[in-house]
Structure 1
Amino acid sequence: MPFVSVIVPNYNHGRYLGQRLESVFQQSFEDYEVIILDDASTDESKEIIERYRNHPKVSHIVYNTQNSGSTFRQWRRGLERSKGEWIWIAESDDYCTADLLNVLVKQGLSNEDVVLSYCQSNEVNENGEGWRNMTWFTDPVDKEHWRNDYCNEGRNEIQQYLWQLNAIPNASAVLFKRTAYYNASPAFESMKMCGDWFLWIELLRQGNIVFCATAHNFFRCHANSTRTHETERWKKRLEEEMLIAQHLISILPATDRPKLHARMNSLLRSYCSTFSGKEVVQFLRNPATYESPFPYAAFMRTFSVRSAYKIAKTLFARKKN
């Protein structure tokens, strides 16, 4: 059997960390090490982590003195210390059944071309309650694909599903090959919200994917989840989704470009809606104040200068009143 490195990146998840680690140490699969990374937490995380310092499965405990600003950078730091052929990123606020690793490893070995093995997740709230299967998230793309176990060529999975949304919604449900990770573009590390989606695409360019429809993972959604969509977070997420769309346009066949360009245009329209009329007027007066990874001209073209002047006229009318 292969050796697995389990990386637990933590930041201020002391409330959930004990349950996370216990679910890792209770795995029926036995050939693994655990690497615990703390990104300068300010809660009780360190106290909880220290309880496991002498656990026989723990190979490394690393405390950052300054927050890295990205969980995806932490993933790489964990891999740099790992020995496993396969990697499991066990997010610190999630938990799992005792059979998760056993299932994912067996799936990974079922086909020599597999680079990513994952299972279905149940979404729970902060208290681990309110279970619902994550098919609610993928059903808008396909109501049947995630109802049964499957193996698919990685590039097919990208072209059929992953170009539309992050159909692998939780890293804690994923086991991937270490070698494939190091052959992937590191661009995902600079992202804050969609880095996992970018990484899955990069991994699946290199091999096959295998899926277990039974939910062995429990994905905790709470106030600090990356799916929380306050305006600024939503704006950042849209920027990263557009970067992914650009990346897909560059790597997928030309026949896929019309649907990818349509998606990019849709994302741009959503992105424009996150800016207030006052901001747009400011951009018109002084384009240098526009800060985004996407060109000012593309933004204004999508928004439409005519609409911007209409907003300006409304604003000035309000000012007079």
Structure 2
Amino acid sequence: MATVSVIIPVHNVEKYLRKCLESCCTQTLPDVEVIVVNDASPDHSAEIMREYRQRFPDTVRCLYLNENIKQGGARNRGLDIAKGEYVTFVDGDDYIAPDFCEMFYKQAKNRHADIIYGYFQNITEDGVMHGTPCPHAIAGLSREENINLINVSPVALLIKRTFFKNKNMRFPEKIVCEDIATTALWLLNASKVLYIDMVLYYRTIHSASMTQNVSLWSQRCYLAAIEYLFEKLVIMNLYVQYKYWVDTYILRNILVAIKNVYQYYHCDFQGFCNYARHILQRVKPDWANNGSIRRYLHPHMICFLKEIESGNCLYEGAAIRFERLTRSTENLYDCFQDELSQLLAWLNQQGCTKITVWGCGEHGRPLIKTLSGMGVEFKVTDKSEHLCGKVLPTGQMIANFADIVQQTDAILVTSHDYFKAIRREAQTYGNFIILNIYLYIKTGIAPKEVLTLYDSSDDFDYHTCI
């Protein structure tokens, strides 16, 4: 039996294929088999495959498909004939380190893992390395937490071959972006998942790379993969168990697709939002009731999900709305008036009727604008002394906090980064309810529960957003 089966889907990568095959065929681990699947590639990749089959007859196995079934289909065909104890996938324009298979295989065998994740390195055609985009330094987190952090591309990993058979795991075929669904399914189905702190996979970044080629069709495939993931999890009876984390993963990726279309395919943005709305209603009609979602989504993105759900983004000006929500904070809190009303009602129940907004910068002014529009009376202060005495467009004068202590029993802090420092300073003046408005909006949970997050907020990345 082979130790590792390296499966390589090939389509229009003749420029990079030799380097890829050379790296895979010269692994330090014995008994590695290299399965190269030509996905009806119109270039000269087939000739290169035959060349390496002749050079490494005991290592290389070649398949030639008559129909282009995309990477997912090509990987499935490779899995059908794989004989290795473990399987890994390498894209035809990427390459791996000589000891890739050996290092991963030893870790998997010694620690009895179904899946081993590692790092990959992005490298441009001129050899310039970029930072590793895959945040795998997450070994201490649960699998449901990891679903929102792992790289979705099925590379830089090793998987036990029997896992595919026992769990009936296949790639969706004839679409791109299929890995959006598959890697999440693997993670939630595996008995044991491990991470190793090694960079042994090198991903070539070039203009023709499929992952860089954003089109309307590819992003529709992106959404189709999300729908596929949801349906598979329901069939496997896993959705209820991992609902909160899967919902967050689904919504984040819907927003990624929308952002991609906006940036690269702007002309049909409105129509794509319509399609995204269909997927949202089909897969996650109750997303707004998921309290964990906001921990992973920027408030701007929550705003736009609300726009999609309401249908506002379907009319003329959808792109302008998206631009406003993602590039400007001016109207950030306008979509959260219900949440702000609930907060004010809760503060009133606590006997807090004298409100001070602390912070009138980029994040503070949108809150001040929205609260003013709601008819709320409040004071405004800021740490920057040079702002004190200035009058805001909404009519409030920025005061030194020491001067308005007696007129304050609750403080809404608008800066997440400086919240703890502001809280310490405010507490030197007395006891107040001091609430991080950023966390309140992001988490969507009750104000009392937000207060319990403060001491642990250093341990959670509330800035994780697209």
CA displacement, residues 252-275 of structure 1 (integer Å, 9 cap, x when unaligned): 555x53454455556556667758
Alignment of 1:291-310 (within 5 A): 302-305=308-311, 308=314
8 A contact 1:27–1:99 mirrored in 2: yes
State the partner residue of 2:462: none
Deviates more, 1:187-196 or 1:268-277: 268-277
* Distance in 2 between residues matched to 1:235 and 1:126, nearest whole Å: 29
Shift of 1:45: 0.7
Structure 2 residue corresponding to 1:174, chosen from 132, 141, 157: 157
The answer (yes or no) to whether the contact 1:269–1:302 under 8 Å persists in 2 is: no
Residue 74 of structure 1 and its aligned partner are, at CA, apart by 1.1
Deviations 1:88-146 (A, max 9, x none): 2222111111111110001101222x11123211111234x221232x443xxx8x53x
Q: CA deviation at 1:22?
A: 0.5
Q: Which of residues 172, 197, 208 is equivalent to 1:213?
A: 197
Q: 1:291 to 1:53 in 2, by over 3 A?
A: farther
Higher relative contact order (CA 8 A, sep 6+): 1
Distance 1:65 1:11 in 2: 12
* Letter of the 1:78 counterpart: G
2-side partners of 1:37 and 1:82: how far apart? 12
Separation in 2, partners of 1:200, 1:48: 30
Please say which of residues 210-219 and 200-209 is displaced more in the overlay.
200-209
Within-5 A mapping of 1:221-236: 221-228=205-212, 230-232=214-216, 233-236=218-221
Matched, 1:195 2:178: yes
Q: Partner residue of 1:318?
A: none
**Aligned equivalents of 2:105, 2:269: Cα separation in 1:** 52
Is 1:28 the counterpart of 2:14? The answer is no
8 A contact 1:12–1:45 mirrored in 2: yes
Q: Equivalent residue for 1:317?
A: none
Aligned to 2:331: none
What amino acid is aligned across from residue 251 of structure 1 in structure 2?
A: L
Aligned counterparts of 1:185 and 1:267: Cα–Cα separation in 2: 24
8 Å CA contact 1:170–1:219 kept in 2: the answer is no
Aligned residues: 288
Q: Aligned partners of 1:190, 1:7: CA distance in 2, in Å?
A: 16
Identify unmatched segments of 5+ residues in structure 2: 262-266, 286-304, 319-466
Q: Give the share of equivalent positions with the same residue, in percent.
A: 21
- Secondary structure in structure 2 of the residue aligned to 1:16: helix
Deviation digits for residues 193-226 of structure 1, max 9, x if unmatched? 4433433333331321222212111012222334
The aligned residue for residue 115 of structure 1 is 114
* Residue aligned with 1:203, SS: helix
Q: TM-score, normalised by structure 2?
A: 0.53
Report the CA distance between 1:33 and its aligned residue: 1.5
Q: Structure 2 CA distance, aligned partners of 1:277 and 1:192? A: 20
Cα distance 1:302–1:101, how it changes in 2: closer, same or farther (>3 A)?
A: same
Q: TM-score of the superposition, structure 1-length normalised?
A: 0.74
Which residue does the alignment assign to 2:130?
A: 132
**Residues 184 and 202, structure 1, Cα contact 8 Å, conserved in 2:** no
- For residues 9 and 61 of structure 2, what CA distance do their matches in structure 1 show? 12
Name the SS for the 1:251 alignment partner. Answer: coil
- Which residue in 2 is equivalent to 1:101? 101
Conserved in 2, the CA contact under 8 Å of 1:5 and 1:34? yes
CA distance in 2, matches of 1:22, 1:195: 27
Output one character per residue of 1:236-267: Cα deviation in whole Å (capped at 9) or x when no partner.
3244345436656862555x534544555565
CA 1:258–1:30: 2 relative to 1, 3 Å: closer
Structure 1 residues without counterparts, runs of 5 or longer = 284-288, 313-321
Partner SS, residue 172 of structure 1: coil
- Letter of the 2:200 partner, please give it: H
CA contact (8 A) 2:182 2:229 kept: no
Answer yes or no: is the 8 Å Cα contact 1:23–1:97 preserved in 2: yes
Aligned CA distance change for structure 1 residues 107 and 222 (closer, same or farther; 3 Å): same
Whether the aligned pair in 2 keeps the contact of 1:277 and 1:311 (CA below 8 Å) is no
2:238 is aligned with 1:251:
yes
Q: Letter of the aligned partner of 1:93 in structure 2?
A: D
Secondary structure class of the residue paired with 2:52: coil
When Rg is computed on C-alpha atoms for both structures, the one with the higher figure is: 2
Matched-pair contact (CA < 8 Å) for 2:68–2:174: no
